[in-house]
Amino acid sequence: MVMKTKMEYHNPVLLRETVDGLNIKPNGIYVDVTFGRGGHSKEIISRLGPDGKLFGFDQDEDAWVNALQDGRFTLIQENFRYIKRFLRFHGIKNVDGILADLGVSSHQFDVPERGFSTRFDAELDMRMSKRNELSAHQVINEYDDVNLKRVFLDYGELKAAPAIARTIIEARENKVINTTDELKAILIKFLPEQFKNKILAQIYQAIRIEVNQEMEVLKEFLEQSLEILKPEGRLSVISYHSLEDRLVKRFMKNGLFEGEPERDFFGNFSVPFKLVSKLIVPSEAEIKENNRARSAKLRIAEKR
């Protein structure tokens, strides 16, 4: 694989709004759990004083070339589902703010061989880290009917999930499905021209989420963030599809992913966060400049 340079990444989405939401203290401790090309991290560092600290997390080996050469910065080469464990390894129990820019990075979309983009033919991979054992190839070629339906229904929200699963299973009885173009050809009857890109994006999203356990990772991260944040610490999260945003919204609202908080004898309940602002979305100008921003949703909360 050819490693990308820093110059080949796009601008960070909602850069100012996301970092403003952290309410940076010059001597504070902050975490960017989706370091990527380092755009959000650079902005955080620019607002820190000499005693401030920033930790970045990124499981993607391609992101490591962008590590900031600054004594206040530490890059942790791990999935952010392990945020609590690795911060403690570095002697950090509590932080003043956490930033997450969820989903696939622009770099990952733009490297054909990663298999994330509907624009390119590639081997079925979709792993955000090459260290992960599960790949898209295994999902497509080894999952049974029940699990394939679950993936496409739960993570792609595709009404045709049962039929898509059956079609894949029938096709792989004759030949192993190795590439994204082979998968597209098999599913062509589900891709009417006027909706082709939308449905393909849902199919790819479903497979990618399963491969990288994105929903489980997000839940684990949010629960640990609540433990790690200091009182009045901020959580600033950008999501790109309804499944992510729903989890973030519910957790920030009441500290749960499902249901409502328990009420006391008087009918009152306490919640761990207070919302700092209403939902923030990119301006038309930003979307025009960076197409990836079109579906971004930013939510900011402060720990009580």
HEC string of 103-132 equals CCCHHHHHCHHHCCCCCCCCECCCCCCCCC
Furthest CA-CA distance within the chain: 64
Q: Give the separation between CA 253 and CA 256, rounded to whole angstroms.
A: 8
Asked whether residue 2 carries a pLDDT value surpassing 50, the answer given is: no
The answer to whether domain 6-106+215-303 has CATH 1.10.286.10 is no
Q: What is the mean pLDDT of residues 188-203?
A: 96
CB neighbours of 268 closer than 8 A, spacing ≥ 6?
Answer: none
DSSP character string of 117-175: -TTS--BS---SSTT-S--HHHHHHH--HHHHHHIIIIIT--TTHHHHHHHHHHHHTTS
Residue 3, amino acid: M
Asked if residue 47 lies in contact with residue 24, where contact means CB atoms within 8 angstroms, the answer is yes
Query: Which value, to the nearest 10 degrees, does the dihedral of the CA atoms of residues 155, 156, 162, 168 take?
Result: -100
Asked whether residue 9 carries a pLDDT value surpassing 50, the answer given is: no
State how far Cα 177 lies from the chain centre: 27
Q: What is the pLDDT of residue 130?
A: 86
Q: What is the mean pLDDT of residues 43-70?
A: 94
Q: Give the separation between CA 223 and CA 84, rounded to whole angstroms.
A: 10
The answer to whether domain 118-213 has CATH 1.10.150.170 is yes
Quickly state the pLDDT bin for 109 (edges 50, 70, 90).
Answer: low
Hey, which residues does 98 pair with through a beta bridge?
31, 235
Q: Give the separation between CA 233 and CA 97, rounded to whole angstroms.
A: 5
Q: What is the mean pLDDT of residues 20-45?
A: 97
Residue 297, amino acid: K
Q: What is the mean pLDDT of residues 93-105?
A: 91
The residue length of the chain stands at 304
Quickly state the pLDDT bin for 7 (edges 50, 70, 90).
Answer: very low
Q: Where in the chain is the domain with CATH 3.40.50.150?
A: 6-106+215-303
Q: Where in the chain is the domain with CATH 1.10.150.170?
A: 118-213
